[in-house]
Amino acid sequence: MGWMRRKPPAKAAFEREWEPRPREEKILETIQVSREALEAGQWEKPMDIREFVYQQSLYIRKRWWLFQALLLAALWWLLKNGVNDAQLRQCMGVAAPLFVVLAIPELWRNRTANAMDIECATYFTLRQVYAARLSLFSGVDLVLLTVFLTLGAWESRFTVWEGLVQFVLPFNVASCICLKCLYSASGTTEAFSMAMCLTFGGIWAVLVSNERLYDRITLPVWAAMLTGSFLFLGYSYVRGQKNWKNIMEVKPLWN
């Protein structure tokens, strides 16, 4: 009866013998198939442009818009306290480039954070990222300037035409300088861009404070300068968007 005492093979040993063994090449194949399926799903349902702009608005630090509003409030306080015409032109001539300077830290944020390579590897191109940021700043600045100029005209501190010439004109020129530096292939720094805008503001304030020189500029000349500033601003934006791959170290192979 000794054969009745023989024990069956251990269950654990039997399970270890038939346990499935993962194969590395199959794991890599599964990962690749999953990745392709994910990419295919993204291409079939891309992010809407409005959603993309909204996402970009969440990344922008809102304090720069607050600083721009405070700058216009400070300028309004100066105007309410009875500055003369020459001082008014000087204040607005200096405030306009400074208004642009307050947007520079956010526009240069990817450079200062060394995030250019990361943004170039994203689904959206760097051109689209800059277009979204510039559109957001342009929209908010348009609202702020509309409120400021409307209040100034309503309170009879200056006419709409004077507001366009004394604030919007230097604002457009400073914006052109900013865009030129932003899309420059030489990779200009944030400090250099600020210095260029502020230098222009100082030169403009000196020129418009000269009564004899200011009185010699006729209405058609101001109109031509204002129209030219809008046209050149649009040209700077379009040219920058066209040559976006020249920014910093961005190579044509990206995106």
pLDDT bracket for residue 252 (50, 70, 90): very low
Residues 119-135, mean pLDDT to the nearest whole number: 71
Task: Report whether pLDDT(226) > 50.
Answer: yes
What size, in residues, is the chain? 255
- b/e burial code for range 122-133 (CB count within 10 A of at least 16 → b): eebbbbbbbbbb
Q: Which of 175, 177, 190, 171 is nearest to 134 (CA)?
A: 175
Task: Report whether pLDDT(161) > 70.
Answer: yes
Task: Report whether pLDDT(69) > 90.
Answer: yes
Phi and psi at 83, nearest 5°, equal -75, 150
Contact 204, 98 (CB under 8 A): no
Q: Which of 230, 214, 244 is nearest to 172 (CA)?
A: 230
Average per-residue pLDDT for the chain: 78
Residues contacting 212, CB < 8 A, separation 6+:
none
Residues contacting 217, CB < 8 A, separation 6+:
none
Q: 0.75 cut: is pTM over it? A: no
CA distance 163 to 69: 17
Query: Mind listing the pLDDT tens digit for each residue in 33-44?
Result: 777 766 665 555
Contact 204, 90 (CB under 8 A): no
Residues 183-207, mean pLDDT to the nearest whole number: 84
Q: Counting Cβ atoms within 10 Å, is residue 157 exposed (0-12), middle (13-18) or buried (19+)?
A: middle
The 10 Å Cβ neighbour count of residue 196 is: 18
Question: What is the Rg, in whole angstroms, of the alpha carbon atoms belonging to the chain?
Answer: 30
Query: Mind listing the pLDDT tens digit for each residue in 79-91?
Result: 887 677 778 888 8
